[in-house]
């Protein structure tokens, strides 16, 4: 059965928003940088938040907000993955969860492996936890992006104590294979290391793409792994502050249960309310409609780049609404987003912020209307002409 793609809000309505995407730059700039989307809230989420406002339900988050049960049911429906609700905890956002876990599984000065190009806060979060970043870049081939397992093994042999994984990967949109995740888990277990997997983009994996949560990859993954995730990326509720920390094995579960209560207290009540509504079956149709829109847009972007930006290299992502585009051939320097912002009035995410591997690249947010995407790419293409 075909799904009708979700329609974005009109640009005039979007410019009334007060979030970073719409307030960072002047009105003559098209903002396709930060990971916010341009759609109305899912009806179930909007209704739950509206009811909370009517009730003045703006106090502290309760001890049992329903997040663990909601997430477990969602994971079963969407991923076919059985999660023990008792092994789900919550906090304000994914990076809060990551830094708290890093503080538990590393000592000051320990090295933590990341796989650039990767989400810029990974670098800062590791440093915040007192650890040191160890870069093992992704490998790219005709088949796509993949983990450099040999490079990761060498880093573990050299003493790295943890791996900060992004699955699906930001900015490439890669859903790592079960085989590579299981191999990663085996390496971590053999060397006494842990794996923390940021899976915030998991709800946005396209139909037909096989997605494997890290903890579902193997028994060794259960023993060494932690997942930190949230409904906030798919449902555009990042400002409400709610993320989940999920475990399966006994030792990781004990670590999470040992976190201080303040980790949970950082969760926003509106974030918890929105998460429960997002994970509910009533929101599945909205999410499917969003995925249909993103599927059309990820393919439209490929066509637009071919037509207007000769030399751009773009691999259609498995998941999410973020495109990783190599503009090196255009000769616009290490950070082409600077020229694009200044001369085309289109704001893209700066490639070098994702690591040295991001030189010459930009990240484009295509979680918008096709018309906005067209105008943005046409503006960029005009710089070539």
pLDDT at 1 over 80: no
Mean pLDDT of 310-330: 98
DSSP H helical ranges for the chain: 11-14, 20-23, 43-55, 67-79, 94-105, 121-128, 149-157, 178-190, 219-224, 232-235, 250-257, 262-265, 269-279, 284-308, 336-339, 370-384
No. of helices (H) and no. of strands (E), the chain: 16, 14
pTM passes above 0.75: yes
Classified by CATH at the fold level, domain 11-41+284-384 comes out as: 3.90.1150
pLDDT at 94 over 80: yes
Q: Where are the domains of the chain?
A: 11-41+284-384, 46-282
pLDDT in tens, 149-179: 999 999 999 999 999 999 999 999 999 999 9
Mean pLDDT of 53-81: 97
How confident is the model at residue 143, as a pLDDT? 85
Select the CATH number that applies to the domain covering 46-282 from these four: 1.20.1440.230, 3.30.2020.30, 3.40.50.11540, 3.40.640.10. Answer: 3.40.640.10
pLDDT in tens, 350-378: 999 999 999 999 999 999 999 999 999 99
Across the chain, mean pLDDT equals: 98
DSSP H helical ranges for 86-143: 94-105, 121-128
- Separation of alpha carbons 302 and 287, rounded Å: 23
Q: How confident is the model at residue 2 (pLDDT cuts 50, 70, 90)?
A: confident
Mean pLDDT of 271-298: 98
Q: Element (H or E) spanning 91, and its range?
A: strand 88-91
pLDDT at 219 over 90: yes
Here the contacts of 55-63 (C-beta below 8 Å, separation 24 or greater) are 57/269, 57/273, 58/269, 58/270, 59/269, 60/265, 60/269, 61/264, 61/265, 61/267, 61/268, 61/269, 61/271, 61/272, 62/269, 62/272
């Amino acid at each position: 059965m075909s799904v009708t793609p979700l329609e974005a809000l009109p640009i005039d309505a979007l410019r009334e928003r007060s979030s970073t995407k719409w307030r960072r730059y002047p009105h003559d700039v098209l903002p396709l940088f930060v990971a916010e989307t341009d759609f109305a809230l899912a009806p179930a989420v909007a209704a739950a938040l509206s009811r909370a406002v009517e009730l003045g339900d703006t106090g502290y988050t309760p001890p049992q907000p329903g997040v663990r049960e909601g997430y477990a049911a969602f994971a079963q429906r969407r991923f076919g993955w059985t999660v023990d609700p008792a092994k789900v905890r919550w906090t304000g956002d994914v990076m809060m969860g990551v830094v708290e876990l890093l503080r538990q599984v590393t000592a000051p000065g320990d090295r933590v492996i990341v796989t650039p190009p990767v989400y810029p806060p990974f670098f800062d979060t590791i440093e915040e936890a007192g650890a040191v970043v160890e870069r093992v870049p992704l490998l790219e081939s005709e088949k796509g992006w993949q983990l450099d397992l040999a490079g990761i093994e060498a880093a573990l042999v050299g003493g790295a104590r943890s791996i900060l994984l992004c699955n699906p990967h930001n900015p490439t949109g890669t859903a790592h294979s079960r085989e590579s995740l299981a191999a990663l888990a085996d390496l971590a277990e053999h060397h006494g290391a842990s794996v923390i997997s940021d899976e915030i983009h998991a709800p946005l994996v396209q139909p037909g793409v096989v997605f494997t949560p890290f903890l579902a990859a193997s028994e060794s993954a259960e023993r060494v792994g932690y997942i930190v995730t949230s409904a906030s990326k798919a449902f555009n509720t990042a400002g409400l502050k709610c993320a989940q920390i999920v475990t399966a094995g006994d030792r990781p579960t004990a670590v999470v249960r040992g976190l201080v209560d303040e980790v949970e207290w950082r969760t926003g009540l509106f974030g918890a309310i929105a998460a429960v509504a997002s994970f509910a079956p009533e929101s599945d149709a909205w999410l499917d409609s969003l995925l249909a829109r993103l599927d059309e847009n990820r393919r439209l972007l490929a066509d637009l780049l071919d037509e207007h930006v000769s030399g751009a290299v773009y691999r259609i992502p498995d998941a999410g609404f973020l495109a990783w585009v190599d503009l090196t051939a255009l000769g616009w320097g290490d950070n082409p987003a600077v020229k694009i912002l200044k001369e085309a009035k289109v704001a893209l995410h700066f490639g070098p912020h994702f690591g040295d591997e991001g030189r010459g690249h930009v990240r484009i947010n295509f979680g918008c209307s096709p018309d906005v995407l067209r105008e943005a790419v046409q503006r960029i293409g005009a710089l070539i002409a």
